[in-house]
A and B are shown apart, each in its own frame.
Chain A
Amino acid sequence: MNISVSKATSLQPASVDPITLEIIRGALRSAQLEMGSLLERTAMSPVIREKQDYFTGIVDRDLNLLIGTRMPSGGRVVPPVLKQFPISEMRPGDIFLYNDCYATDGAVSHSPDMVFVNPVFIDGKVEGFVFAWAHFLDIGGSHPSSTTPDTENIFQEGIIIPVVRLCENGVINDDILRIFIRNSRFTEIVRGDTRSMIAAVQLGEKRLREVLGRYGTETAHKAFSALISHTEQTVTERMHAAFPPGQYKFADVVDDDGKGSGPLAIRMTMESDGESLVLDATASDDQTDGPINFLMSSVIPSMVFGLFMTADKPDLLPNEGLLQCIDDLKLRPGSLLKPKFPAPLGQRATVSRRVHTTCYGLVGVADPDAGHASSSAYSLGKISGLREGSEKPYLKTMGFGVGQGARPYADGIDAVYYIAQRNFPIEFSEMNFPVRIRRYGIHRDSGGPGRWRGGCGIVREIELLGDDASLMLRLTNCVHPPFGINGGMSGRAGRFTMNPGTPQEEMLPMLAEGVPMRCGDILRVETPGGGGVGHPFDRPVELVLRDVLGEFISVESALEDYGVVVDLDNDEVDLAATKAIRRDRRWSTKLVHRNGYYDEDAWYEASYNLKDAHHA
């Protein structure tokens, strides 16, 4: 059975009055907010409740997305359910569950993302769907947390659940639940999170039923398509303005897959004939043995561009209108973006962030003044061990913020893990795990210099107080830091160091599982900064001074990178000296910067010669 999504513009033109439209827009928004707040309040896994690694949304009866999350993650999560359970077999009170990445063509792209789908019935007919998916803490597999750099195939990344009916009549199927949670190292948490997810989609279902009941399904559906076409029109217009007829090429690079296959490149060509946009990513490198393969749903690049193009339009809903701006996406089976079953996927964020940066690199190629600089992928670490005394296993997950790329109108954001994904308070971590945080601050000088500075990464030092434990680590863009654009320079690398400043000091790998950590060891994490935008000598002097005083950049970097002479004894700038330096030492720039400036073609070509450069 082939389930396709009809293109929103092919729907009937909407004729809904503006008032009803606004009210329905508000109702969709608040339904989604409510689902999210229920999850944050009740979920047990810190990954969901504190880190907020969850997604909720609503889909109409034609499977058009009505509201999703403003994050380019995940594909269409409802069609795979219909493949297994035709609408005629669905009943009110059903909730479906799955996490099968390959069988769903990347609806979710690594196994811990558990999808819950609730059909919404009006008068015995399915009129829409509510979904929620979230990253579960641990679903079995070879190592705690299931996603580990160590795997060779997806079977080592935890239980794979095909689309199953988890709830019938609103009542949970206890047999399925028991099989599922028995596979986890953290049964109580996974059970609690499953309950929260069910409560969230049931709440969303109730809200969608209220909207449909209040306005009638036909009026509501007209409003839905109007809301979709508003978003779609803006995205389409702006995409064609950004990409006039022609061909645009860009590439970005991943350091490694944890098994020595790196560096690896994502290569994209955008081609416009003025009518349609074709994105060809077939030149991207081959899939890898290590689990950084990104089984990319076909809607991901559209969503990246869609969010980019609507950044200044908060009133447009993140809906189907974001998902269709690329008319044709070409992917090559066996490549990093379309790996073959059963290649491992656990660390795919490493590659998926490069897909994002390659997309806005393309925007920069088409118009250097519009391009954004690059950001590292979010970085993380996990400590697993046994609690002293009780010998119960624990898993301390740690997300580390990185510096974000600068924009042509603002600095990059300092120290951000990802949208809406929050750090664990130090006081919470120390209360609940055998660790002491000795330092948590801004990683000075990590942000790429530019008229707009790249955001800075962070520094964190963690001491293990309990029995010996095992570490999982991930840090990207350390060999190939996030690029700068339009004169801006690349961000600067990060590193993991064990016991810094002691005779036992040791550099750790960037992507690894099973690194031993002994009681009393101190792990120092330094994360990379984002790339800069524009020539650093054009950065206003007072901003450079502020950055020095706030310890975002050093006095040396102010001089070398920004041409600004800061007098720290008096907290001021030597303006005359600064003027002279900025006049005499100003260098010329090209489009992209990373270990030197490149123009468009040289940059793309360089992505083929990285290995040689790397090993040289």
Chain B
Amino acid sequence: MSLDELSTDPTFSLAIDTGGTFTDVSLVDRSTGQEWKAKVPSTPDDPSRGFVNGVRSVLELANVTPERVSHVLHGTTVATNAILEMRGAECALLTTRGFKHVLEIGRHDIPRQANMFSWVKPQRPIPPQRIFEITERMSFDGQEITPLSEEDIREAALRIRAKGIRSVAVCYLHSYANAAHERRTREILLEEDASFQISLSSEVLPTYREFERSMTTALNAYVMPLVSDYVGRLEEGLRAERIKDARLLLVKSNGGVTGAATIRNEPVQTALSGPAAGVIGARYTGDLSGEQKLITLDIGGTSADICLIDGAEPAITTEGSVGTWPVHVPMIAIHTIGAGGGSIAYSASGGLAVGPASAGAVPGPACYGRGGIEATVTDAHLVLGHLPEHLLRGAMTLDKDAAMRAVERLAQKLGTGLYETARGIIDVANNNMIGAIRVVSVEKGYDPKEFSLLPFGGAGPLHGGFIARELGMKSIIVGQGCGVLSSKGLLIADLRSDFSRTLLLRSPYDDLSQLSVLFSELQVQAMAWLKTEGISPDQAELRWAAAFRYENQGYELDVPWEGAANRESLMAAIKRFHDQHRQLYSFDQKDAPVELAGLRVSAVGRLKKPDFKTVQPDAGDARTGQQKVYHAGGWIDCPIYDRSLLATDTIIPGPAIIEQMDATTFVLAGQICIVEESGNLIIREQR
């Protein structure tokens, strides 16, 4: 059965988003758009248990038989956490003779912001004693200089096996230009031991820069056993729940989903799986309000993820990093900072600092009453009246006195007033997030005034009003289910894989033959992938981009490539490059030769989106209470609303608190909130 047929059948999709505390599961009937949700505790020691528990709960809740599920979509943090916490597998690396220490040396620098006296080199995921040098060599244009020594590989294989290592990375110099040696190496390794899991740099990241390619490939090998076992447990768990024919699709860092087989080979592609699903959900929410220019802001307990979307798709970067390490596979350009609801406020060098240390889920903010005594961002919100004391319709009560005590302690250290300090905590946290928004907007030549802010995650809509006001943004869009937007993103994600290659083409571009060869090779590769993923031609789309730079520059800009591999398309792309350089950096250099450095194609398989039903409000008075909020040094009245009771077109002037099960929205005095037919809340400054 192809996905095409599946998507038109009256069948169901499951979406499972594993968070730090809870696992959110959605089940949607693709024909009616009806949706059921379940929330179960996450199981960090083995997230597959939470996954399966969630699946079971939601199927029971909806009373749907497992056989009717056609897609299971999942965002995972297994790879992310393994890299961040350095808990990956013992693995080995085969590399070109003479280059054993490429990973150790890195780029031979100390980070610019570090202090040269105190910086300590971090431990690499693969130490040199597990790196084996193999006699072989290619030139930069892919010609064999030294043949591959098969004996070297067999000898390394023996030693690797003796150490009990399963996962092996292979990264040879210039393999992006000619992968023959890496491929042959895999054949030999598998002859020696068919159970080796192998990562080839020419498949994980076929672009130049040996340190970054080696590290990305090493990390792929590092997380492969974990991710592969994990995927295996998910498949097993689904079978045990009698979900047999459904396809398991995982979200990649580029925002697309792909089958479990691809993820097993390229697990490093899931390094930003979780946040990417959120961005896709945010884009969908923006679409409902007809907004194409969005800055998404996902605020959780410990971090905030920020992404700019200009037009239909979020920007993709190929120079991202996870933790300390470069991970140069295509990822949605998400900027993450350590600022969230649980971020701890403290006195530092005479100033008030917030985060990156976080109280996390345990003990959590002081007001959670789980033993936290330090003032957090959430405590400050409670002290200022932005949050009601009783949340989730009374399901959770916050300890306001504990929050006051925590903030008061800090206030005494700083010599400032209680409420002034609480307001300061919010201001500093907001300022950190504003700084991060500037990184993705102003620094890239985009004016936030032209964008709408899309806050989500549990704490997003508490901060959205302040941040959008400070940046003069167009509006704030708060979607339904904005606390669990990642699940939504999973349900509407497309299949997607990116294929890129290095190619150097210099002015005057006399010979375009190499370019057309590369185009056809990439096209064949992309179409083959779509076919294995079961995508029919009418659902398939190829998006091309080319990387350009001025001669002598070291970094490229990706610009869309339209049309065939001919001079006309090249000239049009070069014109776009000049424009983009000017937009980003304030100048262009039309008197300097432009060179093309690489090509990328994104293969997209469109999946039919479920037709989500707009939730109709229950009848009744949406206004459920009122409390005082701190404003401009004094206190003003602030009504509280239940979002599920708000009728379409309702207009609410700020200040107002709008509660829903998964988040709380705070509308500032001077702002006005409108309930759209789509279910989105739109908040603007009152003029």
CB closest residue in chain B, given A551: B128
Give the complex CA separation of A418 and B109 in angstroms: 6
Q: Which of B553-602 contact A (CB under 8 A)?
A: 553-555, 581, 584-587, 589, 592
Check if A45 sits within 8 Å of B108, measured CB to CB: no
CB closest residue in chain B, given A417: B108
State which of B6-14, B55-63, B348-356, B399-407 sits at the interface with chain A.
B348-356
Check if A441 sits within 8 Å of B100, measured CB to CB: yes
Give the complex CA separation of A226 and B352 in angstroms: 13
Check if A22 sits within 8 Å of B428, measured CB to CB: yes
Q: Total contacts A to B, CB within 8 angstroms?
A: 220
Give the complex CA separation of A17 and B351 in angstroms: 8
Q: How many residues of A contact B (CB 8 A)?
A: 86
B208 on the interface (CB 8 Å rule)? yes
B617 on the interface (CB 8 Å rule)? no
Give the complex CA separation of A428 and B552 in angstroms: 11
Check if B109 sits within 8 Å of A417, measured CB to CB: yes
B395 on the interface (CB 8 Å rule)? no
Contacts of A416 in B (CB 8 A): 108-110
State which of A32-40, A96-104, A469-477 sits at the interface with chain B.
A32-40
A86 on the interface (CB 8 Å rule)? no
Give the complex CA separation of A42 and B117 in angstroms: 30
**B108, B117, B176, B416 — most chain A CB neighbours (10 Å):** B108
A73 CB, nearest partner CB in chain B, Å: 11
Q: How many residues of B contact A (CB 8 A)?
A: 70
B632 on the interface (CB 8 Å rule)? no
Give the complex CA separation of A317 and B593 in angstroms: 40
Check if A427 sits within 8 Å of B174, measured CB to CB: yes
Taking A18-B351, A420-B110 as contacts, is the C-beta distance between A49 and B555 under 8 angstroms? yes
Check if B209 sits within 8 Å of A22, measured CB to CB: no
Contacts of A312 in B (CB 8 A): 115, 118
CB closest residue in chain A, given B108: A401
Q: Which of B243-263 contact A (CB under 8 A)?
A: none
B557 CB, nearest partner CB in chain A, Å: 9
Taking A419-B114, A422-B107, A431-B504 as contacts, is the C-beta distance between A413 and B589 under 8 angstroms? no
B224 CB, nearest partner CB in chain A, Å: 23
Check if B117 sits within 8 Å of A550, measured CB to CB: no
Give the complex CA separation of A21 and B428 in angstroms: 10
Check if B552 sits within 8 Å of A399, measured CB to CB: no
B17 on the interface (CB 8 Å rule)? no
Check if B102 sits within 8 Å of A18, measured CB to CB: no
Contacts of B176 in A (CB 8 A): 427
Check if B428 sits within 8 Å of A19, measured CB to CB: yes
CB closest residue in chain B, given A14: B350
A189 on the interface (CB 8 Å rule)? yes
Q: Which of B99, B423, B438 contacts A439 (CB 8 A)?
A: B99
Check if B117 sits within 8 Å of A414, measured CB to CB: no
**B99, B110, B127, B432 — most chain A CB neighbours (10 Å):** B110
A213 CB, nearest partner CB in chain B, Å: 13
Q: Which of B111-155 contact A (CB under 8 A)?
A: 111-121, 127-129, 139-140, 145
B210 on the interface (CB 8 Å rule)? yes
Give the complex CA separation of A47 and B615 in angstroms: 59
Check if B111 sits within 8 Å of A420, measured CB to CB: yes
A275-303 contact mask (Cβ, 8 Å, vs B): 1 or 0: 00000000000000000000000000000
Give the complex CA separation of A461 and B96 in angstroms: 14
Check if A22 sits within 8 Å of B98, measured CB to CB: no
A51-84 contact mask (Cβ, 8 Å, vs B): 1 or 0: 0100000000000000001110000000000000
Contacts of A604 in B (CB 8 A): none
A492 on the interface (CB 8 Å rule)? no
A307 on the interface (CB 8 Å rule)? yes
Check if B115 sits within 8 Å of A70, measured CB to CB: yes
A202 on the interface (CB 8 Å rule)? yes
Check if A202 sits within 8 Å of B553, measured CB to CB: no
Check if A26 sits within 8 Å of B112, measured CB to CB: no
A404-417 contact mask (Cβ, 8 Å, vs B): 1 or 0: 00010011011111
Contacts of B592 in A (CB 8 A): 44, 188, 191-192
Check if B428 sits within 8 Å of A23, measured CB to CB: yes
Give the complex CA separation of A73 and B590 in angstroms: 35
A1 on the interface (CB 8 Å rule)? no
B427 on the interface (CB 8 Å rule)? yes
A46 on the interface (CB 8 Å rule)? yes
Give the complex CA separation of A417 and B488 in angstroms: 48
Contacts of A71 in B (CB 8 A): 116
Contacts of B116 in A (CB 8 A): 70-71, 307, 419
B432 CB, nearest partner CB in chain A, Å: 7
CB closest residue in chain A, given B207: A427
Contacts of A230 in B (CB 8 A): 349-350
Q: Which of A22, A41, A50, A195 contacts B431 (CB 8 A)?
A: A22
Check if A441 sits within 8 Å of B101, measured CB to CB: yes
A610 on the interface (CB 8 Å rule)? no
CB closest residue in chain B, given A54: B112
A142 on the interface (CB 8 Å rule)? no
A464 CB, nearest partner CB in chain B, Å: 15
Check if A419 sits within 8 Å of B210, measured CB to CB: no
Check if A314 sits within 8 Å of B108, measured CB to CB: no
Contacts of A310 in B (CB 8 A): 115
A124 on the interface (CB 8 Å rule)? no
Check if B104 sits within 8 Å of A195, measured CB to CB: no
Check if A18 sits within 8 Å of B424, measured CB to CB: yes
**A33, A42, A52 — most chain B CB neighbours (10 Å):** A42
Contacts of A52 in B (CB 8 A): 109, 112
Contacts of A34 in B (CB 8 A): 443
Taking A19-B428, A410-B120 as contacts, is the C-beta distance between A440 and B110 under 8 angstroms? no
Check if A311 sits within 8 Å of B350, measured CB to CB: no
Taking A34-B443, A49-B555 as contacts, is the C-beta distance between A413 and B110 under 8 angstroms? yes
Q: Which of A22, A203, A442 contacts B105 (CB 8 A)?
A: A442
Contacts of A199 in B (CB 8 A): 585-587
B551 on the interface (CB 8 Å rule)? yes
Check if A315 sits within 8 Å of B209, measured CB to CB: no
A38 CB, nearest partner CB in chain B, Å: 6
Contacts of B420 in A (CB 8 A): 17
Q: Which of A234, A422, A425 contacts B208 (CB 8 A)?
A: A425
Contacts of A311 in B (CB 8 A): 115, 117-118
Contacts of B587 in A (CB 8 A): 42, 195, 198-199
Give the complex CA separation of A202 and B432 in angstroms: 24
A1-42 contact mask (Cβ, 8 Å, vs B): 1 or 0: 000000000000000011101110111001001101110111
B211 on the interface (CB 8 Å rule)? yes
Q: Which of B475-505 contact A (CB under 8 A)?
A: 504
Could you jot down 19 A-B contacts, CB within 8 Å?
A19-B352, A23-B428, A27-B435, A42-B555, A43-B553, A52-B109, A70-B115, A195-B587, A308-B117, A312-B118, A315-B348, A316-B349, A417-B108, A418-B109, A421-B109, A425-B208, A426-B99, A427-B208, A550-B127
Q: A70-B113, A313-B349 are in contact. List 4 more A-B contacts (CB 8 A).
A: A19-B427, A22-B428, A44-B553, A314-B115
7 residue pairs, one from A and one from B, having the closest CB atoms: A420-B112, A44-B552, A439-B98, A401-B108, A311-B118, A549-B129, A19-B424
Footprint of A on B, CB under 8 Å? 98-102, 104-105, 107-121, 127-129, 139-140, 145, 173-174, 176, 208-212, 347-353, 414, 416, 420, 423-424, 427-428, 431-432, 435, 438-439, 443, 504, 550-555, 581, 584-587, 589, 592
